[in-house]
């Protein structure tokens, strides 16, 4: 199982440089490292001294880098869809649509990048994967896809099953599907594919929630706007369940004010790298294993019937609590999180909520 690390911060704060130094640090320790970039431009390849492609390129011993290229990835995935269709559907209807024709729609880049990240993790070829994405809300939404999609599937599936339309159609679904497809959809087979999707999404959520498997670090400079952006992304990362392990201050000192802005996280200052001399920057990087001691995005105390969410970077006025169904929705900034409660709290009404020391504490 690979450790997945990413870096969040305002553009121009040196996230890509930090990502490269992190990859070099792990490679020097003898770990197999993959640096995965979603930036289609040549910048990262220039920093590495090797042009990047959609195939992992060897940079140095134990260190490879790859660039997510959406158009060829979309073409490859479409070919896989058509192969599945030909295998299961008696009269394929996608056969006249060719992958070479497909354009990349908004949002596809993130979905394709997430799937590449998942496949490289599943390959067991790497001990650490450093993801160099946009470093902003797009990165967080990409990493939060399993959480968001699982909610849509869970809620819309139940809404359809409970509806009059779902009850009316259920006697006809099996024979219709069996006529169109070449598979048996009766009995347990009817839920097999749905269960596979559920398992995939659950695995994604488990990885993101485990700081031993996935963590982010904030990157900032001494500039006020960079610090403000990092704080906002810190709070937003909690909404997708991603642990933020610490703060890297690039080419600036850690002042008392800055340290207080990010408490209780540890902030470390790192120098610029010069030419091909990366060692000073590498040596200054934090111990990424300390992410396990960072505040958890969410904690559920069944005995006290409380759910606590860590939401730094926001104040009370920016947080909204909604309970309009069996789950609780937390809105903070531009993010919403639907909390799937344990059975002991499911269906219980919220009896109180308070915002204290960056924690939203919800009682049932």
pLDDT: which is higher, 341 or 172: 341
Which has the minimum average pLDDT: 30-39, 200-209, 253-262?
A: 200-209
Most confident of 36-45, 165-174, 187-196, 261-270: 261-270
Band (pLDDT 50/70/90 cuts) for residue 196 is: low
- Give the Å distances, CA to CA, from 107 to 70, 111, 112, 113, 216: 11, 7, 9, 10, 21
pLDDT of 197 over the 70 cut = no
Rg of the Cα atoms in the chain:
23
Asked if residues 321 and 333 have their Cβ atoms less than 8 Å apart, the reply is no
The pLDDT value recorded for residue 33 is 98
The mean pLDDT value for 62-72 works out to 91
The mean pLDDT value for 39-56 works out to 90
The pLDDT value recorded for residue 200 is 73
The mean pLDDT value for 234-263 works out to 96
pLDDT of 217 over the 80 cut = yes
248 closest CA partner among 272, 232, 225: 272
Band (pLDDT 50/70/90 cuts) for residue 319 is: very high
Within 13 Å of residue 9, how many CA atoms lie on the same side as its CB? 28
The SS3 assignment for 59 reads strand
How far apart CA 289 and CA 298 sit, in angstroms, is 20
What phi and psi, each to the nearest 5 degrees, are found at residue 284? -85, -10
């Amino acid at each position: 199982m690979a450790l997945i690390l990413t870096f969040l911060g305002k553009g121009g704060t040196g996230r890509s440089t930090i990502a490269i130094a992190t990859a070099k640090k792990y490679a020097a320790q003898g770990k197999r490292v993959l640096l995965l970039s979603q930036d289609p431009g040549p910048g990262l390849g220039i920093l590495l001294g090797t042009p990047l492609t959609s195939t992992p390129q060897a940079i140095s011993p134990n260190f490879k880098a790859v660039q997510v290229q959406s158009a060829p990835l979309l073409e490859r995935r479409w070919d896989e869809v058509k192969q599945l269709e030909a295998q299961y559907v008696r009269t394929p209807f996608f056969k006249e649509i060719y992958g070479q024709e497909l354009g990349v729609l908004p949002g596809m880049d993130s979905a394709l990048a997430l799937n590449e990240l998942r496949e490289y993790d599943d390959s067991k070829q790497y001990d650490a994967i450093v993801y160099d994405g946009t470093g902003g809300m797009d990165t967080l939404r990409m990493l939060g896809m399993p959480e968001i999609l699982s909610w849509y599937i869970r809620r819309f599936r139940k809404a359809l099953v409970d509806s009059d339309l779902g009850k009316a159609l259920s006697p006809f679904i099996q024979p219709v599907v069996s006529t169109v497809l070449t598979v048996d959809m009766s009995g347990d087979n009817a839920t097999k594919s749905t269960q596979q999707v559920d398992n995939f999404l659950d695995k994604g959520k488990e990885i993101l929630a485990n700081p031993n498997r996935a963590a982010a670090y904030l990157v900032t400079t001494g500039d006020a706007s960079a610090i403000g952006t990092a704080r906002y992304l810190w709070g937003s990362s909690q909404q997708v369940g991603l642990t933020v392990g610490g703060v890297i201050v690039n080419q600036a000192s850690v002042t008392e004010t800055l340290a207080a802005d990010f408490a209780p996280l540890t902030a470390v200052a790192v120098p610029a790298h010069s030419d091909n001399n990366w060692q000073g920057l590498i040596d200054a990087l934090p111990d990424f294993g300390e992410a396990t001691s960072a505040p958890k995005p969410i904690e559920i105390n069944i005995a006290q019937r409380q759910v606590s969410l860590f939401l730094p970077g926001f104040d009370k006025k920016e947080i909204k609590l909604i309970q309009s169904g069996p789950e609780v929705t937390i809105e903070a900034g531009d993010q919403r999180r639907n909390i799937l409660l344990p059975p002991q709290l499911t269906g219980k009404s919220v009896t109180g909520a308070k915002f204290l020391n960056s924690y939203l504490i919800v009682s049932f």
